[in-house]
Chains A and B, each alone.
Chain A
Amino acid sequence: MAKGDPGGTTRSRRAAPRSRKGAAGDPALVQLLTPEGERIDSATGPDGTEYRVDFTDEEYRGLYRDLVLVRKLDAEATALQRQGELGLWASLLGQEAAQVGSGRALRTQDMAFPTYREHGVLYCRGIDPIMPLGLFRGVDQGGWDPNEFKFNMYTIVIGAQTLHATGYAMGITIDGKTGTDDGEAAIAYFGDGATSQGDVNEAFVWASVFNAPLVFFCQNNQYAISEPLERQTRVPLYQRAAGFGFPGVRVDGNDVLATYAVTRTALDNARLGQGPSLIEAYTYRMGAHTTSDDPTRYRIASEVEAWQAKDPIARVKAFLEKQQIADAGFFAEVDEQARRESVHLRERVLEMPDPEPVTMFDNVYPNGSPLLDEQRAKFSRYMESFEGSAH
């Protein structure tokens, strides 16, 4: 099964001519930057919506910087896991554009509900990238304050966060915070595998009938761990939205510009009170599902190579070079910054203290409980019974 062509259903992909490239050959796929770095002025979605972006040179360079930094920090985390410093890591390699494009489209007031792979969105929300590493190192319950950064905790349960997001978005409506240009919206991240979950389908129903200001952002990275997309769906995922009664659009998830444009439009529709929508960011997980996974056991190298040609960062770099928006000095400076930040991240991870075991009682209830206090006291006495205990 050729996986190299982001467009159409399983069947139409098989029949599709191999010469087709970019948005020109696939009207369903919104694309503003081709894998070769060619800019497309505007693209039309399946419902006729026009998508375009108008970035300054500085903003283009900023997106490139985000992409490179996010990839480098992710690679550092993978290395740290291999070196025994993290228990597990879910790499985002290959999905940087989908995450940075959508993450940068969020406004300050918008609330995001991530899976456990949204390190790029987390970065765009201004959260210290060390936060998820504490979680995966097992020394922290999650790290950041979801309300402060408008970025919920990582959700490990597949698809569960779509229901949380739906409830939150319904709350936005009840609070009367939609209907204006500066209204609020929420975005729920999930993957192609999650679309097979009951939770996600329930969220679709509720968000639809309550007209919740919510963007369902599906990163279709082609694999639910080892199950390929054709085992998840017989229709393109974005078309599922029609059955629930809201618009769906497929965007080139390796195109940071198109992803930004599509997400911004969907969020704006939501904040204006026009209800939910589904974005299928068509992308590819270049790495393993997690560090416990071995993708060579279920997919072939030629498929990975085909997607390498559509790398989300290479196309931005090609574009910046062609348009002379950035020079070699800029690229070297970004690489150096990425190296510095990854080394800094590594040093801080290695210095993360192991938490005192007794702190596991700390965040169970907002106001504590007598039973919990009793358990804490018992546990403290138990810990004190060991030699060399500090307390």
Chain B
Amino acid sequence: MSRIKTFNLPDLGEGLTEGEILAWLVKVGDTIELNQPIVEVETAKAAVEIPAKWAGQVQAIHHPEGTTVEVGTPIIAIDTDPGAGPLDAPSTTATPSGDLPTPSAASLAAVEVAPAEGMIEPGLIGGAAPGGRTAVLVGYGPRTTAAKRRPRKGAVPAQAVTAPAAPAGVDQGVVVGDKTVATPTVPAPQVHDRRGEAVASRGATGGVLAKPPVRKLAKDLGVDLATLTGSGPLGSITREDVQQAASGASVVVAEPIVATTAPSFGADREQRIPVKGVRKLTAENMSRSAFTAPHVTEFLTVDVTRAMKALDRLRGRREWRDVRVSPLLLVAKAVLLAVQRHPMVNSTWAGDEIVVKEYVNLGIAAATERGLIVPNVKDAGRLSLRELADALTDLVQTAKSGRTSPAAMSGGTLTITNVGVFGVDTGTPILPPGESAILAFGAVREMPWVHKGKVKVRQVTTLGLSFDHRIIDGELGSKFLRDIGDFLTDPEAALLAWT
């Protein structure tokens, strides 16, 4: 046994991978006793003093204070017999456990490294899990340090222990013992498990591969697993295989999995979709707005029969023949006119001041394949009705084709969300961040309505206005909504009265 013993940083707290050297309590040349505190180390869990494992003289300190050291790294060397004269040669062998048997030099030389993360079958413990996670059952997460493992008999180099991935879609057999095991042709590189030996162990035992819940299902349905050919990774039998067998359908091996945009549910009947892009942005914006701006929502149901008739007359005019005229156009006009009468609604809460804008960048919420986006018509208040109609048409078409520029989506001051196109009556919209009012425009329906003292069938819609109560009081919000409603009830009269 060597005189010089090297102490490696141990795992101080159940699965930690590293620690920071806070302070050395000894220095080179110091004579130390057994269990004398030698170093203070901080891990993710605790700052602790490490007691000396051996009595002797400090020979070397390998890491200065402030460095972060991986578990298993030598941190100090101790001469356990300093009175015995000068050293012959510095010792280099060191194991974390000191006196415990040391692995043979041959096995050390052939140490395997842990398989790369992607080499583990997704869904297995240690393998890739949905959402970019690594699947673990319990504990402190996947190990990030290299694993040391004895090599397998048969002298296959570590990197080649695992079978090469079959090219996508190409069937390939692996001869194991006296059996030929069909490897799956699923277009994925994971034809080996975390140890890279599942094919071999399967061949050796002759068992079938199936996860316990699948075995349970097969037992419940009376399906003999041995009669099935698996379509899962490594030829394992999947839940679908069992269900197909139970329903009398033949299981087709090696059929490529067809990619589909429909949700693909795992065995737990859940699908995990990464939050990114428009969805992530929408979520952030909505959360931010919902929990910073105090929202108030008011509703108004109005008879829009006259407005619909006015739209029809507009469509009939020669100069409007090629223009797309929709109820949204009238609602947009109503909003713009109402803003002129109540400029405070077109404003931004800026902490210690309120910024009221003369210009109206009118946002239109649009459902697209990418998700919800809210492009806006810049300075919409200055546009004529015809210009506004063209701008709205252009905005909607650009959004649907997915070509909306970031500039078109920024700087909005007030927004309309046209939920009526989905056939619903109204909603309580959430303000886009930085805006103080948003109008939900519901479906226009034929409803029984009291008109001139009699119940008649009229075209009716419900408006829902959410506003930021920090800026807009109930009175202002109500007047603004009322004016929009008045315009939509009788556009001609409103135009004459207001402009």
Contact B46 A387 (CB under 8 A): no
Interface residue ranges of B91-113 to A (CB < 8 Å): 96-100, 104, 106-107, 110
The answer to whether the Cβ of B51 comes within 8 Å of any Cβ in the partner chain is yes
B189 at the interface (CB under 8 A from A): no
Q: B46 and A84: CB pair below 8 A?
A: no
In B6-23, the 8 Å CB interface with A consists of 7-8, 10-14
CB-CB under 8 A from A389, the residues of chain B are 150, 153
Of the listed stretches A235-243, A277-285, A288-296, A317-325, chain B binds: A288-296
Q: Give a binary string over B245-275; 1 marks a CB under 8 Å from any A CB, 0 the rest.
A: 0000000000000000000000000000000
Smallest CB separation, A376 vs chain B (Å): 13
Residues of A close to B34: CB separation below 8 A: 343
Q: By the criterion of a CB under 8 Å from any partner CB, how many residues of chain B are at the interface?
A: 37
B18 to chain A, nearest CB (A): 14
Q: What residues of chain A lie closer than 8 Å to B174, measured between beta carbons? A: none
Q: Which of A75, A294, A381 has the most CB of B within 10 A?
A: A294
Q: Which of B199-207, B306-314, B328-336 contacts A (4 or more CB under 8 A)?
A: B199-207
Tell me which of B7, B48, B110, B150 has the highest count of chain A C-beta atoms within 10 A of its own C-beta: B48
Take A83-B7, A294-B47 as given contacts and tell me if A88 and B204 are in contact as well, using a CB distance cutoff of 8 Å. no
The reply to whether the CB of B152 lies closer than 8 angstroms to some CB of chain A is yes
Task: Please tell me the number of chain A residues within 8 Å of chain B, measured between CB atoms.
Answer: 30
A81 to B154, CA, bound (A): 38
Kindly state whether residue A363 has any CB partner on chain B within 8 Å: no
Instruction: Select one of B7, B11, B153 contacting A386, CB under 8 A.
Output: B153
CB distance B153 to A288 under 8 Å? no
A83 & B51 in contact (Cβ 8 Å cutoff): yes
- The reply on B490 being an interface residue by CB < 8 A is no
The complex places the Cα of A15 from the Cα of B152 at a distance, in Å, of: 70
Contact A387 B35 (CB under 8 A): no
Query: Quick one: CB contact mask for A78-98 with B, threshold 8 Å, 1 for yes?
Result: 010111110110000000000
Q: Give the distance to chain B from A31, nearest Cβ to Cβ, in Å.
A: 34
Docked Cα-Cα span, A381 to B106, in Å, equals 22
- Cβ of B150 and Cβ of A84 under 8 Å apart? no
The reply on B45 being an interface residue by CB < 8 A is yes
Contact A387 B107 (CB under 8 A): yes
Tell me, in angstroms, the Cα distance from A369 to B134 when the chains sit together: 35
> With the chains together, A384 CA to B153 CA distance in Å?
8
0/1 per residue, A260-292, Cβ < 8 Å to B?
000000000000000000000000000010011
Q: Please pick, from B97, B99, B104, B205, the residue contacting A388 in the complex, using a CB distance under 8 A.
A: B104
Would you call A378 an interface residue if the criterion is a C-beta within 8 Å of the partner chain's C-beta atoms?
A: yes
A385 located at the interface, meaning its Cβ lies under 8 Å from any Cβ of chain B in the complex = yes
- Known interface pairs A83-B7, A84-B10, A386-B153; A294-B97 also in contact (CB < 8 Å): no
Q: Which chain B residue has the least Cβ–Cβ distance from A339?
A: B34
Quick one: CB contact mask for A337-361 with B, threshold 8 Å, 1 for yes? 0000001000000110010000000
What mask results when residues 351 to 392 of chain B are scored 1 for a CB within 8 Å of chain A, else 0? 000000000000000000000000000000000000000000
Q: Does A382 contact B (CB under 8 A)?
A: yes
Which B residues lie within 8 Å of A381 (CB)?
A: 204-205
Within 8 A of B (CB), among A228-265: none
Nearest CB of B to A355, in Å: 13
| Cβ-based interface call for B53 (8 A) | yes
CB of B223 within 8 A of chain A? no
Q: How far is the CA of A75 from the CA of B34 in the complex (A)?
A: 12
Bound form: Cα–Cα A153–B11 in Å: 26
The chain B residue with its CB closest to the CB of A86 is B10
Question: Is A291 in contact with B107, judged by CB distance below 8 angstroms?
Answer: no
Would B152 and A387 count as touching, CB distance under 8 A? yes
A82 contacts B51, C-beta separation under 8 Å? yes
Q: Which of A76, A82, A350 contacts B48 (CB 8 A)?
A: A82
B154 to chain A, nearest CB (A): 8
- State the Cβ distance, B470 to closest chain A Cβ, in Å: 38
Indicate whether B49 reaches chain A with its CB closer than 8 angstroms.
Answer: yes
Distance between B163 CB and nearest chain A CB, rounded to angstroms: 15
Q: How far is the CB of B179 from chain A (nearest CB, A)?
A: 15
Given the complex of chains A and B, what is the CA–CA distance between A385 and B47 in angstroms?
42
Q: Given contacts A83-B53, A84-B8, is CB(A292)–CB(B150) below 8 Å?
A: no
In contact, A79 and B51 (Cβ under 8 angstroms) = yes
B424: Cβ under 8 A from any A Cβ: no
B100 touches A292 (CB 8 A): no
Bound form: Cα–Cα A231–B120 in Å: 44
- B294 nearest CB across to chain A (Å): 34
Residues on A facing B (Cβ under 8 Å) = 75-76, 79, 81-85, 87-88, 288, 291-294, 296-297, 343, 350-351, 354, 378, 381-382, 384-389
Interchain residue pairs A-B with the least CB separation, the first 8? A84-B10, A294-B46, A292-B13, A83-B53, A79-B51, A386-B150, A79-B35, A82-B50
**A-B contact list, 21 entries, CB within 8 Å:** A79-B35, A82-B10, A82-B50, A84-B96, A85-B10, A87-B14, A291-B12, A292-B13, A292-B14, A292-B46, A293-B46, A294-B47, A350-B98, A350-B99, A350-B100, A351-B99, A381-B205, A382-B201, A385-B153, A387-B151, A388-B150
